Amino acid sequence: MHIFEEMAACRHDQLVFWAEPEAGYRGIIAIHDTTLGPALGGTRLWRYASEADALTDALRLARGMTYKAAIAGLKLGGGKSVILADERPRDRERLFRAHGRAVESLGGRYITAEDVGTSVDDMEFVRAETRWVAGIRGGSGDPSPATAHGVYQGIRACAQERYGDPCLEGRHVTVQGVGHVGYQLCAELAAEGARLTIADVNPRSVERAVHEFGATAVAAEAIYDVPADIFAPCALGGVINDRTVARLRVDIVAGSANNQLAEPRHGNALQKRGILFAPDYVINAGGLINVYGELHGWSVERTRRKAAGIYDVVLSVFQRAREDGITAAEAANRVALQILTDARRPGSAEHGSRARRAVSMST
Q: How far apart are CA 81 and CA 138, in angstroms?
A: 23
Catalytic annotation, pick one of 68, 75, 80, 306: 80
CA 69, 334, 182, 213 torsion: positive or negative? Answer: positive
Q: What is the CATH number of domain 144-338?
A: 3.40.50.720
Residue 87 burial (10 A CB sphere; 0-12, 13-18, 19+) = exposed
pLDDT tens for each residue of 293-322: 988 999 989 999 999 999 999 999 999 999
pLDDT given at position 22: 93
The larger pLDDT score, comparing residue 123 to residue 346, is at 123
Strands 195-199 and 216-217: parallel
Residues in the chain: 363
Contact 339, 69 (CB under 8 A): no
Judge whether 80 counts as a catalytic residue. yes
pLDDT given at position 346: 81
Instruction: With CA atoms as reference, report the closest residue to 177 among 50, 271, 317, 280.
Output: 280
pLDDT given at position 87: 66
Would you tell me how many other CB atoms lie within 10 Å of the CB of residue 262?
Answer: 16
Q: Where are the domains of the chain?
A: 3-63+78-127, 144-338
The mean per-residue pLDDT over the stretch 343-354 comes to 67
pLDDT score of 199 more than 50: yes
pLDDT tens for each residue of 115-161: 888 988 999 999 999 999 998 877 766 788 999 999 999 999 999 99
Please indicate whether the domains covering 3-63+78-127 and 144-338 agree at the CATH topology level: yes
Would you tell me how many other CB atoms lie within 10 Å of the CB of residue 105?
Answer: 15
Q: What is the CATH number of domain 3-63+78-127?
A: 3.40.50.10860
Compute the mean pLDDT over every residue in the chain, rounded to the nearest whole number.
Answer: 92
Residue 155 burial (10 A CB sphere; 0-12, 13-18, 19+) = buried
Please tell me the pTM assigned to this model: 0.84
pLDDT given at position 360: 31
The mean per-residue pLDDT over the stretch 218-235 comes to 98
Strand, coil or helix: what is 279? coil
pLDDT tens for each residue of 250-303: 999 999 998 899 999 999 999 999 999 999 999 999 999 999 998 899 998 999
pLDDT tens for each residue of 317-329: 999 999 999 999 9
